[in-house]
Copies of this chain bind each other. A is one copy, B any other.
Amino acid sequence: MSSSSQRVLAVVRRQILNGERVPGEKITEVGIAAEMDVSRTPTRTALATLAAEGLIEKRSGRGFTVRSISSSDVEKSIAVRAALEALAARTMAENGMPKSAEDALLKSIAFTERVLDADEPDPDYMDGYQEANILFHETIMYQCGNDLIAHAYERIAMLPLAALGSLAFDRTNPRRELKRLTVGHSQHIIIFDAIKKRDAARAEAMMREHSHATLNYADLFVKRIYETSSADRLEAAANE
C-alpha cells in the first residue's frame, strides 16, 4: 500500500512484539507521528490497523494503550488457529489437493527430512526448518479452497505464536527439541497423506492435534517477548 503508513505500521508492530513498547504504554496519533516524523494521516491508518489486529486498544479520548499479551492470550490464539487450520485441512481434503499445493507440501516435507536426517541437529538448519514448516502450514491455509478461512485467520495472525508454523525452540535442550521436530514432521506426513486420500476427518483431526502441540511452548514464547526488563521501561514510560 502506501509507504509512510506501511512503515509506521511495521515499525510500531515490531516494537510492540519485541517488547520495546510495554503493555499499558500510551500511544497517540500525535505522539507516533512526531516520533516517526510523519503526519497524523498515515499514523491514523496504521493505528487503526493495529487496533484491528488487537495489538493496541482504543480508549476513547485517551489515545490507545499497548495491549498486554499474557500466556493465556497466546493459548487462546493457538486454539483459534488450530480450529481454522483444522478446517482448512478438512476443506482441502474435501476439495482435493491442487497441484501447486502438492508441490509445495512435498517440497516442505523433503526439506525437513534432510534436516532431521542429520546425525546432529545443526543450528544452521533451524532457520530452514522453520521456513519449511511455515511453507507447509501456509500452503494448506491459503490453498484449501476457502479463502475466508485465511481471511478470518489474518485477524489474529500477528499475535505471538499464532503465526502459521511458528516455533519456539528451547535451545537448552537440543536433543529433546530434535525429537519434538521429528514428531511434528511425522504429523505433517500424515496430514499430507490424509488430504491426498481425501480423508477429511483424518486430515482435520491430525491437523488439530498438530496445531495444538505448540501450546506447551506458550510460556516459553511469552518469556522471550518480555525477557528484557519491561518493568523498568513501564515505570519510565509512566514517569514521562
Cβ B76 vs Cβ A147 within 8 A:
yes
Binds B, one of A23-31, A134-142, A152-160: A152-160
Cβ B83 vs Cβ A146 within 8 A:
no
Known pairs A45-B48, A54-B148 / 7 extra A-B pairs, C-beta < 8 Å: A44-B45, A48-B48, A79-B87, A79-B149, A83-B86, A151-B155, A152-B152
A36 within 8 A of B: no
Q: How many copies does the complex hold?
A: 2
The list of the 7 closest CB pairs from A to B, nearest first, reads A155-B155, A83-B87, A76-B146, A152-B152, A76-B148, A152-B155, A80-B148
Q: Is the interface of A mostly helix, strand, loop or mixed?
A: helix
Give every chain B residue within 8 A of A77 (Cβ-Cβ). 148
Give the Cβ gap from A29 to chain B, nearest Cβ, in Å: 13
Interface size on A, residues (CB 8 A): 26
A52 within 8 A of B: yes
Interface string of A154-169 (1 = CB under 8 A from B): 1110010000000000
Give the Cβ gap from A37 to chain B, nearest Cβ, in Å: 21
The complex places the Cα of A45 from the Cα of B79 at a distance, in Å, of 31
Cβ B156 vs Cβ A80 within 8 A:
no
Interface string of A53-86 (1 = CB under 8 A from B): 0100000000000000000010011011001101
The complex places the Cα of A48 from the Cα of B149 at a distance, in Å, of 20
The complex places the Cα of A15 from the Cα of B45 at a distance, in Å, of 24
Give every chain B residue within 8 A of A91 (Cβ-Cβ). 79
Interface string of A33-59 (1 = CB under 8 A from B): 000000000001100100010100000
Q: Given that A48-B48, A79-B91 are contacting pairs, would A54 and B151 also be in contact in the complex, using a CB cutoff of 8 Å?
A: yes
Cβ B152 vs Cβ A84 within 8 A:
yes
The complex places the Cα of A86 from the Cα of B44 at a distance, in Å, of 36
Give the Cβ gap from A132 to chain B, nearest Cβ, in Å: 26
Specify which of A79, A146, A149, A152 lies most central, judged by the most chain B CB atoms within 10 Å of its CB. Answer: A152
Give the Cβ gap from A175 to chain B, nearest Cβ, in Å: 33
The chain B residue sitting closest to A162, CB to CB, is B148
Give every chain B residue within 8 A of A44 (Cβ-Cβ). 45
Give every chain B residue within 8 A of A79 (Cβ-Cβ). 87, 91, 146, 148-149
Give every chain B residue within 8 A of A54 (Cβ-Cβ). 148, 151
